[in-house]
Amino acid sequence: MVAVPSAPQHRLRIGIDTGGTFTDVVAFDESTGTLTTTKTPSTPSEPADAFLAGIEKVLQIAGLPDVGGEAITAVSHGTTVATNQLLEGKVERLGFVTTEGYEFVLEIARQSVPDGYGNSYFWVKPDRIVPVDLVRTVGGRLDYTGAEIRPFDEEQARAVARWFRERGIATIGVCLLHSYANPAHEERMGEILTEEHPEAVCSLSSQVLREYREYERSMTTLVDAAVKPRVSAYVASIRTRLDAYTGGDEDARRVPFYMMKSNGGVLSADEVVHQPISTVLSGPAAGALGAALIARHAGFDKVLTCDGGGTSTDVCVVVDGEPTLTTEGSVGRYPSKIPMIDIVTVGAGGGSIAWLSPEGTLKVGPASAGADPGPLCYAKGGTDVTITDAHVVLGRIPPYLLGGEIPLEVEAARRGLTQLADKLGMGVEECALGVLEISAWNQANAVRQLTVQRGLDVRDFTLTTFGGSGSLLLCRLIDVLNLPAVLVPPDPGNVSAFGLLTVDVKNDYVQTFVSLHENLDLEEVASRYAELTDKAAEALDKEGFARDRHRYARTADLRYFGQAYEVRVGVPSGPIDRRLADRVAESFHAEHRALYGYDFAGDDRQQVEWVNLRVSGIGPIQRPEVRRHDPVPDGAAAGPSGTRPVCFSAEGAYVETPLYARDDLRPGNRLAGPAIIEEYGATVPVHPGFVARVDDYLNIIVTREEGADDGV
């Protein structure tokens, strides 16, 4: 359809997060500062359908059903296309080109063994992303400085390209030895592949990850190649549909279309297709950023974010308003050494399936019923009991979703739970409570992976729960983890889409530069940082940011000489001189001590070594305001809108529980459990023994009532 342009005063920036069950949409009117939120069912078979349906729906709610490209200033999108492909292991046949003599780099890999060495006797390495028979090598050699030892063998390179073409292998990753120091050989290999095999989709390691460590660089490059065809097709489909919807054409202004990246920034969709690996944690990253912003305004500087959706729950640590970053992440069984927000994902979403193990014990997840057919209560042909079915049978969520748009069949869920309970020899309520208890412990274990296992005390953090299912088990998590409080933002089901509107354009660039601190060539360091900054500036120019708006963040990876892995620290702005370099080393000592409990500051026997130089180019955007509201004079809450029988106890007893509409709650309101707080996209059950209060930003803060005992 061709839309009629709206009144020019509207400037809408839209965030769209596509999940496994629902697509979340938030529209921010930059001219008025207003936010409009909504959700629509996802369409897994054709995600573009839900994408456009979400835009139409949010504009209808905002009273702007006929806006066109002139009113929409940008669309930012979080997607799980790359994530799901890797999690499901749907990697098509890949080819791999490496340096002669290094054809087994993927087989050798690293020494890491999952679950500790106690089980290593029974552990067999998983299949490589590229089998040995699809690996080809090319002669030529560089040393670690990038100097050529043997010239590149172009004749052999052409033979390799033809070999892949003859076998119909059109997705190829190239990682030649030491190309991080000198990309010439690798770039020539790319040119020859284009000449001899024009249909091939190629990824070069010098463009994907210009950093040393051959195995990690190879794997990251191959993952990039693996997801490139699917991500490119997805982006092209969305771009075409968006242009048609907004009335854009080749001669008209196209609505800027951005994709969320794993590093906490966005990038234009046209550029994302050249670095698709950067989107592997696209959706979860947006949620962590949105929650971090909301929690910071509420006065919490140490936060754990818990994003519960229909398929999974994503957990992240936030300190001083910034989610932690890592370059040691992975998606499924595929390691990826790109900068990404440090997120742990567990299969504990609303659609996670309850099942019996061969031993007859109850398990929950990671398999999910998704959006289609969905839980039993969706009545769309689902055959498996899910977490949502347990909640609706226990009365913890209403018999509908999205304010009544999606009715739920409680009896269908009860029949399924009855069959499962009979197999376990227990009652229906006991079975449903067991499903939720297992799910809560799955989420708690994900939190522990990011805290206890890394030397952090979970009791120092406030949990921020969001997503459609993220807040349903918060009272149980307070008990299990001994948390001080849980924060639930307004519109928790749309925090990920809101996060997309808070994200700057961001590109990361890295260059390996190994040198002992005392031997550091400061002029060379300055030159390398200048080169990286120039690349970042060029990328921001392409994104349309004026030079006076560019921001750059310098960091470096340092370690003690002889260590295998590095610690990243900030490099302050200003000239690279000895004083600045020493400040960086001091920061490294302090960060090492914070991470590992010790350091060698002042010990001349243990030298500091620089390993990687990094620059992030940032193009800032206008963020929605997190508004403060005036408290009600006496703190009195509006009365309940009704009651519903809800089961909170292990004995299976139902309690007639007051229901509160969240829109009626104001700052200063305080509700003692049992209570159910309902809103359009989410529900917050407040168990007996817990208290919920509303702060000045309309967040709900849940704590254990003083003197109350732990309970289910």
Q: Which residue has the higher pLDDT, 181 or 312?
A: 181
Q: Taking a C-beta distance cutoff of 8 angstroms, is the pair 368, 347 a contact?
A: yes
pLDDT at residue 88 above 80? Answer: no
Q: Which residues pair with 670 in a beta bridge?
A: 693
pLDDT at residue 651 above 90? Answer: no
- pLDDT tens for 142-176 read 998 899 999 999 999 999 999 999 999 999 999 99
Q: Are strands 148-150 and 141-142 parallel, antiparallel or unpaired?
A: antiparallel
pLDDT at residue 712 above 50? Answer: no
pLDDT of amino acid 65: 67
Q: Are strands 486-488 and 462-466 parallel, antiparallel or unpaired?
A: parallel
* Tokens 């234009």, residue located: 268
pLDDT at residue 85 above 80? Answer: no
**Domains of the chain, first to last:** 12-85+231-278 (3.30.420.40), 90-230 (3.40.50), 505-619 (3.30.1490)
Average pLDDT over residues 253-267: 83
> In sequence order, which residues have a C-beta less than 8 Å from that of residue 690 and are 6 or more positions away?
475, 478, 672, 673, 702, 703, 704, 705, 708
Q: Which residue has the higher pLDDT, 7 or 241?
A: 241
% of the chain at pLDDT higher than 70: 93
Question: Range with the lowest mean pLDDT among 81-95, 304-318, 557-571?
Answer: 81-95
pLDDT at residue 228 above 80? Answer: yes
pLDDT at residue 641 above 60? Answer: yes
The mean pLDDT of the chain is: 87
pLDDT of amino acid 122: 56
Average pLDDT over residues 593-614: 89
- pLDDT tens for 92-120 read 889 999 999 999 988 888 766 655 544 44
Q: Which residue has the higher pLDDT, 636 or 96?
A: 96
pLDDT at residue 82 above 90? Answer: no
When pLDDT is cut at 50, 70 and 90, the band that residue 205 belongs to is very high
pLDDT of amino acid 124: 66
pLDDT at residue 631 above 90? Answer: no
Crossing angle of helices 578-596 and 522-542, in 10° steps, is 80
Q: Taking a C-beta distance cutoff of 8 angstroms, is the pair 432, 417 a contact?
A: yes
DSSP secondary structure of 363-393:
EEEEEE-TTTT--GGG-SS--S-BHHHHHHH
How far apart, in whole angstroms, are the C-alpha atoms of residue 611 and residue 418? 59
When pLDDT is cut at 50, 70 and 90, the band that residue 1 belongs to is very low
How far apart, in whole angstroms, are the C-alpha atoms of residue 639 and residue 661? 9
pLDDT of amino acid 7: 45
Residue 112's φ and ψ, nearest 5 degrees, are: -60, 140
Q: Give the Cβ contact number of residue 521 at 10 Å.
A: 11
pLDDT of amino acid 461: 92
- Of 187, 163, 167, nearest to 175 (Cα)? 187
Q: Which residue has the higher pLDDT, 5 or 115?
A: 115
pLDDT of amino acid 637: 63
pLDDT of amino acid 249: 53
How far apart, in whole angstroms, are the C-alpha atoms of residue 319 and residue 323? 6
Q: Which residue has the higher pLDDT, 314 or 463?
A: 463
